[in-house]
């Protein structure tokens, strides 16, 4: 597949819906959480990171979500404003819900983990009535994060956003973003992931995330080709399956496939790679680049972020990604 076509008559490039939370990244790296004493605060949540990445790359972005009426919620809103991201689609909870927290553990570059606090969080209280149809009608792209499907009323809000996007010809990108602690059962996960994937134009996930999505499907060997093919009977034009250190493979509806390249990195931590890859990859597609070039740009963006302490703060600009690619080729 050469490229993806996006609407050209829109005032917005990109809108994301889903999780807005706080990342508390360990300052004492190469040690377990039990021995970590200090953390640095960042805005987090996969869709937030991707939206920040798209804004850093120069696109006009907005967000649909919900924040708590607390200090952390205000920190998130201020951060988005300062990074040029619209917040017209973000509402504030008044019921006493809190901001989700993610504490990160960096035992080594290869051994990282996240301790999540997701009880009574504001982002999962986004209601369907709070989804602005006009915002989606003005955008070229809607990015849906799978975590937002984990509970009601957030899941109904996402399904309504998908309906609006399809109605207005807005491209839908589904980032599977599976977080097991958010879900009641594997069966529930597969059911709601299916509903979102069926309405999506581009689906992005790890091999393990697609395994979850296929819980009821006849793909016992978890073949990438079989995985991709089933979604082309719906709206999907492109399915991207990530294999960690082995790179990613993009499958097109026309039968094509492209394997992404890997860039060297001085890895500090592994988390954030998927979000930065998605931002770079989607940016490339929206510039009219072919799939292979977009994957290369996304891989370079991911290498920059995993070489940094933060995720959101480390999202690179176009110039930074281009310089990184050039330096890597000369090395």
Condensed to tens digits (0 to 9), the pLDDT of residues 73-105 reads 999 999 999 999 999 999 999 999 999 999 988
User: 3-state DSSP call for residue 121?
Assistant: strand
- Domain holding 297, by residue range, is 12-19+46-98+119-330
Is 238 within a domain?
yes
Q: Which two tokens stand for residue 16?
A: 């994301």
At 43, the pLDDT band (50, 70, 90 cuts) reads very high
Can you say whether the dihedral through the CA atoms of 184, 101, 121, 240 is positive or negative?
negative
| CA 175 to chain CA centroid, nearest Å | 5
Is 33 within a domain?
no
Q: Calculate the average pLDDT of the chain.
A: 92
Is 94 within a domain?
yes
pLDDT digits (tens, 9 = 90+) for 214-266: 888 776 677 899 999 999 999 999 999 998 778 899 999 999 999 987 787 78
Is 108 within a domain?
no
pLDDT at site 331: 64
Number of structural domains in the chain: 1
Whether 201 contacts 172, CB under 8 Å: yes
Q: Which burial class, exposed, middle or buried, applies to 26 when counting CB atoms under 10 A from its CB (0-12, 13-18, 19+)? A: buried
Mean pLDDT of 28-41: 88
Is 140 within a domain?
yes
Is 105 within a domain?
no
Is 226 within a domain?
yes
At 329, the pLDDT band (50, 70, 90 cuts) reads confident
> Angle 186-197/154-168 helices, nearest 10 degrees?
20
- Its pTM surpasses 0.75: yes
Is 109 within a domain?
no
CATH of the domain at 228: 3.40.1190.20
pLDDT digits (tens, 9 = 90+) for 186-223: 999 999 999 999 999 999 999 999 998 888 877 667 78
């Amino acid at each position: 597949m050469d490229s993806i076509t996006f609407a050209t008559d829109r005032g917005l490039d990109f809108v994301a819906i889903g999780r807005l939370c706080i990342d508390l990244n360990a300052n004492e790296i190469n040690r377990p959480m039990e021995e970590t004493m200090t953390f640095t605060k960042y805005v987090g949540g996969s869709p937030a990171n991707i939206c920040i990445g798209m804004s850093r790359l120069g696109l006009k972005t907005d967000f649909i979500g919900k924040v708590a009426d607390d200090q952390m919620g205000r920190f998130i809103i201020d951060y988005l404003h300062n990074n040029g991201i619209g917040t017209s689609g973000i509402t504030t909870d008044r019921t006493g819900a809190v901001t989700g927290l993610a504490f990160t553990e960096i035992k080594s570059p290869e051994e990282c983990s996240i301790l999540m606090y997701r009880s009574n969080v504001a982002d999962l209280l986004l209601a369907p009535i709070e989804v602005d149809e006009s915002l989606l009608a003005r955008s070229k792209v809607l990015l849906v994060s799978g975590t937002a499907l984990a509970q009601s009323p957030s899941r109904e809000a996402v399904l309504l956003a998908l309906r609006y996007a399809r109605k207005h010809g807005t491209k839908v990108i589904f980032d599977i973003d599976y977080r097991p602690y958010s879900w009641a059962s594997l069966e529930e996960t597969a059911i709601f992931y299916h509903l979102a994937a069926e309405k999506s134009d581009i689906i992005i996930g790890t091999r393990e995330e697609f395994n979850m999505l296929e819980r009821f499907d006849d793909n016992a060997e978890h073949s990438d080709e079989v995985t991709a093919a089933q979604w082309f009977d719906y709206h999907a034009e492109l399915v991207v399956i990530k294999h960690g250190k082995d790179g990613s493979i993009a499958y097109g509806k026309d039968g094509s496939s492209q394997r992404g390249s890997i860039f060297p990195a001085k890895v500090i931590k592994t988390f954030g790679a998927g979000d930065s890859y998605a931002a770079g990859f989607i940016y490339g597609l929206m510039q009219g680049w072919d799939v292979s070039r977009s994957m290369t740009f996304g891989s370079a963006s991911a290498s920059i972020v995993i070489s940094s302490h933060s995720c959101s703060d480390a999202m690179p600009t176009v110039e930074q990604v281009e310089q990184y690619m050039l330096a890597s080729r000369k090395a």
